[in-house]
Amino acid sequence: MKFSEFDTDAGPLIEAYGPGQVRIQGQDYQRSLAVTAGQVLSDWGPPRFEALEPAHFEALAALAPQVVVLGTGARQRFPDPALYAALLAQGIGIEIMDTGAACRTYNILAGEGRRVVAALINDA
């Protein structure tokens, strides 16, 4: 799915999403990654949902977001809350959805100037 109407002042926005692929600033990524208003972290994340660990969420918390939007792949799946307890303990919100919805939600929140991190698991 291709997105449109980008506010370039919001930082790197997600231009398109498809099974196993995310496009940001003209570059395609085929692996799990995290996106903030200031950067694309192509080395974040597990290769698949089942490999999520607390360390993945701790790395997101270190970015000091207001909210993390977790995209869980082609379908919405909920990780064990113990995995993301570090986020909640720091007052960081987490929204869990399929990766396509997470891409759209990230763009909206980033466009509003929110401190948001999209953590996108790209396991088609």
* Cα separation, 16 vs 70, whole angstroms: 17
Q: What pLDDT band is residue 122 in, cutting at 50, 70 and 90?
A: confident
- The mean of the pLDDT values for the chain is 91
- Smallest Cα–Cα separation from 79: which of 108, 50, 113, 37? 50
What integer pLDDT is reported at residue 46 of this predicted model?
93
What integer pLDDT is reported at residue 3 of this predicted model?
47
Helix extents (H) in 1-124: 54-61, 85-89, 99-111
- Smallest Cα–Cα separation from 56: which of 98, 119, 1, 4? 119
Of 78 and 10, more confident: 78
Report the pLDDT averaged over residues 20-33: 94
Residue 10 has pLDDT above 90, yes or no: no
* pLDDT per residue as tens digits for the range 45-57: 899 999 999 999 9
User: Which residue ranges form the domains of the chain, and what is each CATH number?
Assistant: 8-120 (3.40.1230.10)
* Cα separation, 40 vs 46, whole angstroms: 15
What integer pLDDT is reported at residue 45 of this predicted model?
86
Residue 104 has pLDDT above 50, yes or no: yes
Residue 21 has pLDDT above 80, yes or no: yes
